[in-house]
Chains A and B, each alone.
Chain A
Amino acid sequence: MAAEAKTKAKVLEVKELTKSFDHHAAVNGISFALAPGSVTALVGPNGSGKTTIIRTVAGLSKPDSGRIEILGAAAGSRQARSVTSIIFDEPALYADLTVWEHLAFSARLCGVEDFSARADDLLRRFSISELHDSLPSGFSRGQRQKVSLAMGLVRPYKLLILDEPSNGLDGPGVRSLAASLTESAEAGAAVLVATHLPDLLQVCGAMLAISDGKLVYQGKPDRARIESPS
């Protein structure tokens, strides 16, 4: 009973995670946990290991050692993926699907058929309603990123992970993103956002700072640590 309560209190639990590439430790013995309803910033310079952590949590990279659990399920398992939504920094869209179809399939692949109202709301929020039936070939970087964000938010999730989500976004886009993160946390999801942008720190209740693959700070958001984590 006590163990179950402990698991419920942690949506994501990372323990002693280590991952190397060509004998270089990209992530070195990192441990942390995220509680439901929390928004946590993941900061660190380029190459510090943020994306590696995110890819390992997504089950796209296998860790060399350590353990990752999402609501008690191993990272990358079907159970874990059914409650995890991940948005990467580089938007990747099908050239032959419209914006609406991207959102529709993102929801339907998670077993949600009643997605229209949510999808419409997200299109309006990110000011891309007029792109509803457009193919992404002529989209700007920012528009593609907005579609990518809407795809990640339209599906159900208990853990929301975003890797540099504000790349290419305009001012209103960043504000909509910040509002979405807050709403997600209020709905009970745990949010982890890798960012360099001080604006997004305002909505974060906690911060993890990474340097050379090691966790060097864990606590309240601290702007100074974006530039100098240690």
Chain B
Amino acid sequence: MSQAVQERAVLRDLSSARRSHFAASHDLLNVIVKGYFSAIAVLLVLDVAATASKFFVFTSAQVAAFSSFAPRIGAVVLVAALAGGLAAGSRGAPLSLFAAELRLLFLSPMNRERLLRGKAVRAVIRYAIAGAFLGAAIGFGARTLSPAHPADPPLGFGALGAMAGLAYGAGSTISLSLALGRRVAYGIGFLLAAFEAAAYLSGLHIDPFYLSGQTLRYGTGGTTLAFTALGAWAVLGALGIMRTGSADIEKIERHSEMVSRLRFGLATRDIRAVILASRALSEDGYRPRRAFAFLWRLLPSPRMAPVLRSLANFTHWSIRRYVRLLALVLVSSWLATLAWEKGALAYLAAIPLAFAAGLELVDALSSVVDRPVNFVNIPVDDGWLVSRLLVLPVIVGVVLFEAASMATSLFVKGVPLAVVASVALSMGVSVVFGAAITAVRSGAPSVGVGLLTPEAQSFGIFLELVPLVAASVWLLPSLNSHHAVSLGRPPETDALSGAFFSLVVPVGTWAWLRARNVISAE
């Protein structure tokens, strides 16, 4: 028996042993119950989306306009996927190599190149399938929203999704195997974007991204073009896989450690752990900036120390984080303004984006909560500390949401300014406090929870939704004013009263922060 055959036999036995223990340690009934509740949740979302779709039905003219521009949109998606893959590969993606398999497999005389290629094959196929599913789901939504149009977009959209997955996989594996540095990878991504922009401006329709993007046109899915383009991207993916054997294990290890943390955060449903891990994955840490040191001298009082702490966090962010926060605030503000005019679907998209912006804003609080010992070492009540750590984030949040809402209202006609201002005020406050509840609750786990009965523990799932509900209270001024319009009243007063009522979130959160130690003790 050759060495390669022997190695494969041992690896098969290893996988089989792991599978058998995994199956034995998982309760089938538990899996069925979880599946049942997940199915209910999916159906609920589909039902809400179907109801909301009544507000958004694409006309034939809109579909035709989209079809004429679709190849360019497809090209942008593919360029973004390829550039994103190149950037991710420079940080060690897409392979995951965990400590146990590193010790057992990679320190043994097994063929490391073959092991790495096997992992790359699985990763690229996974991206292609995920892309295909996502694309098909968007295509399915597009078909639902354009009932008058006879075309069948899921196949074309799915094909483009698969191509984007292959482009990401190929970009990351090529970047990893060539050991591209971050600057080089980002530089190539920028060049690709510049190439696509030049092709658009010159009106050229022969670049490979544009040709592949043609599958996005309504009704072109399943054509020879789609399969040819898919085949071409699959070849690029295969090229990336073939080179992966020479990848730097050290880089993959670092990336894998972050992925482990991300998975742990997801498994424990700890939103903040997920955010911290994703920041670490993108090497999005703090940057020393002495230029802001003068701000510290403006707040010399010890009572202002927590405010100073949150200011220090903001001033040490990477440029990427500023851009991300601004993008989240702008898009969520635009969606919130659009929702007032168009309906519920935009609200559904705005809620998580605004919440994510809130989680960015409470960065200083998250840093303190990271280590419970920080509370112990500071000789003040932790509620006092947390409350003061939120002062600056609330101010920044309100200013950003107000500015973004005013800017976006220029592009969405028909929404009264008073309504826009009230929603933005409420958004700035509620997302910060909702995120603060998440941050504080994700700190040291309460020992007492383990003493509760299983029924009481399962009630905890509802408590997990509290931060999101608190962060979504900005819906009140919007819905309240909308209701006023439907009754024939001017919406301004109702928007303001809704915004005023949403102040229950900061008041309630402050009370909870000050009293939560007493509540826990009780």
**Are B110 and A96 in contact, CB atoms less than 8 angstroms apart?**
no
Map CB proximity to A onto B84-111 as digits: 1 under 8 Å, 0 otherwise. 0000000000000011111111111111
Map CB proximity to B onto A92-120 as digits: 1 under 8 Å, 0 otherwise. 11101110011001101111000000000
Bound complex: CA of A93 vs CA of B3, how far in Å? 25
**Are B103 and A97 in contact, CB atoms less than 8 angstroms apart?**
no
Chain A residues, CB < 8 A from B106: 60
Choose among B21, B25, B109, B250 the residue that contacts A110 (Cβ–Cβ < 8 A): B109
Q: How far is the CB of B5 from chain A (nearest CB, A)?
A: 12
Choose among A76, A86, A93, A110 the residue that contacts B100 (Cβ–Cβ < 8 A): A93
Give the nearest-CB partner of B108 in chain A.
A109
Q: How big is chain B's contact interface, by range? A: 20 to 34
Chain A residues, CB < 8 A from B98: 92
Q: How far is the CB of A206 from chain B (nearest CB, A)?
A: 24
CB contact list, B164-222 vs A, under 8 A: none
**Are B108 and A102 in contact, CB atoms less than 8 angstroms apart?**
no
Give the nearest-CB partner of B103 in chain A.
A92
Q: How big is chain A's contact interface, by range? A: 20 to 34
**Are B102 and A60 in contact, CB atoms less than 8 angstroms apart?**
yes
Chain A residues, CB < 8 A from B6: 111
Choose among B21, B22, B99, B110 the residue that contacts A92 (Cβ–Cβ < 8 A): B99
A126 within 8 A of B: no
Give the nearest-CB partner of B249 in chain A.
A60
A30 within 8 A of B: no
Choose among A81, A93, A96, A108 the residue that contacts B22 (Cβ–Cβ < 8 A): A96
Give the nearest-CB partner of A105 in chain B.
B14
Choose among B3, B107, B248 the residue that contacts A58 (Cβ–Cβ < 8 A): B107
CB contact list, B65-122 vs A, under 8 A: 98-112
Chain A residues, CB < 8 A from B102: 60, 92
Could you list 29 A-B pairs, sorted by A, with CB under 8 Å? A59-B249, A60-B102, A61-B250, A76-B112, A79-B109, A86-B107, A90-B99, A92-B99, A92-B102, A93-B100, A94-B18, A94-B104, A96-B17, A96-B18, A97-B14, A97-B18, A101-B17, A102-B104, A105-B10, A105-B14, A105-B104, A106-B104, A106-B108, A109-B7, A109-B104, A110-B108, A135-B25, A148-B103, A151-B103
**A60-B249, A92-B98, A94-B100 known; 19 other A-B pairs, CB under 8 Å?**
A59-B249, A60-B253, A61-B249, A61-B250, A76-B112, A81-B108, A84-B107, A85-B107, A93-B100, A94-B104, A96-B17, A96-B18, A96-B21, A96-B22, A98-B21, A102-B104, A109-B10, A110-B109, A135-B21
